[in-house]
């Protein structure tokens, strides 16, 4: 099996020795233009073989508008407030429709497993139907495609919900929970703790962990506010009342989508050591 994935950065695939080759296609900062993102994704999909595992990990800015989700690119050329951004201003973004079409042709995306992670604001909208009267499983969107192809999809937040990052962590909460806690610290090895992190364990861990991290942060900020008399400005939903107590706030909650039936050979993402 070959793995086209960013997981090599953790060194886990070398430890597992279950991949013949690891290829990384990296796009960041100024290179993250609409044309470059679309070209790299198209090239990845076209090169996939039936034995491959593909991981597409997007960590950046995103936006939902009129039931559609867009990945915001470096070359958008817009510097105003998000609330004033319209469809004309999103022409240089990458729409969900492109992500869907990239994987949908039978001759494309012919891989053993495909994982798509979107760590951005509003990313849950990528799993929704573009037409409100149609549910996700009655549309040609990512949810239906994921079901048909057995894809795994993890988004950082619900529709129209902010995806937060913490300066001290150096990552968004979802990326930190996945990479640092889940893989590097082995925290995703749960149920059972057997020294191995399976793909579903990994995704489920991050889904549950992100709101826990934010609730702990809110409680810490509330304590600082009480003891030092500082203002508390920390919200996860635009327009949310910032004076609400931590337990009543709308915490960022990732969305995970995969088929419920178990795989005959689950993908091992990382090895954490001897079973405890």
Q: Which domains are assigned to the chain?
A: 2-209+251-271 (3.40.50)
Mean pLDDT of 120-129: 87
Phi, psi of 230 (to 5 degrees): -90, 160
Calpha distance 230→158 (Å, rounded): 30
**For the chain, how far is it from start to end, CA to CA, in angstroms?**
29
Q: pTM for the full model? A: 0.82
**Most confident option among 98-107, 116-125, 212-221:** 116-125
**Most confident option among 105-109, 129-133, 169-173:** 169-173
Q: Is the pLDDT of residue 157 over 80?
A: yes
Structure-model confidence comparison of residues 270 and 235, the more confident one: 270
- Per-residue pLDDT band for 140 (boundaries 50, 70, 90) equals low
The fraction of the chain above a pLDDT of 90, given in percent, is 27
State residue 132's pLDDT score: 56
**Most confident option among 108-122, 156-170, 194-208, 253-267:** 194-208
Phi, psi of 196 (to 5 degrees): -130, 140
State residue 24's pLDDT score: 85
On the question of a cis peptide bond just before residue 192, with omega within 30 degrees of 0, the verdict is yes
**Most confident option among 21-30, 55-64, 71-80:** 55-64
Mention every residue, 6+ apart, whose C-beta is less than 8 A from residue 166.
Answer: 173, 176, 217
State residue 17's pLDDT score: 66
Calpha distance 215→212 (Å, rounded): 5
């Amino acid at each position: 099996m070959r793995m086209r994935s960013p997981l090599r950065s953790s060194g886990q695939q070398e430890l597992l020795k279950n991949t013949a080759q690891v290829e990384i296609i990296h796009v960041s900062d100024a290179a993250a233009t609409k044309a470059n993102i679309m070209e790299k994704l198209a090239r990845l999909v076209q090169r996939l073989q039936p034995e491959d595992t593909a991981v597409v990990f997007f960590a950046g800015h995103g936006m939902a508008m009129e039931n559609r989700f867009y990945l915001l690119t470096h070359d958008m050329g817009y510097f105003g407030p998000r609330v004033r951004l319209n469809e004309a201003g999103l022409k240089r973004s990458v729409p969900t429709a492109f992500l869907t079409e990239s994987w949908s042709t039978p001759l494309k995306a012919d891989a053993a497993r495909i994982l798509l992670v979107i760590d951005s604001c509003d990313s849950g909208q990528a799993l929704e139907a573009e037409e409100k009267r149609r549910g996700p499983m009655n549309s040609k969107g990512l949810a239906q495609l994921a079901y048909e192809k057995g894809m795994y999809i993890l988004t950082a937040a619900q529709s129209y919900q902010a995806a937060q990052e913490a300066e001290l962590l150096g990552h968004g909460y979802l990326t930190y929970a996945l990479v640092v806690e889940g893989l590097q610290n082995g925290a995703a090895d749960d149920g059972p703790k057997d020294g191995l992190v399976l793909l579903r364990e990994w995704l489920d861990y991050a889904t549950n962990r992100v709101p826990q991290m934010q609730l702990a942060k809110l409680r810490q900020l509330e304590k600082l506010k009480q003891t030092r008399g500082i203002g508390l400005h920390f919200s996860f939903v635009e327009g949310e009342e910032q004076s609400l107590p931590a337990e009543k706030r709308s915490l960022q909650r990732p969305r995970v989508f995969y088929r419920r039936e178990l795989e005959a050979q689950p993908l091992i993402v990382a090895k954490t050591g001897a079973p405890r």
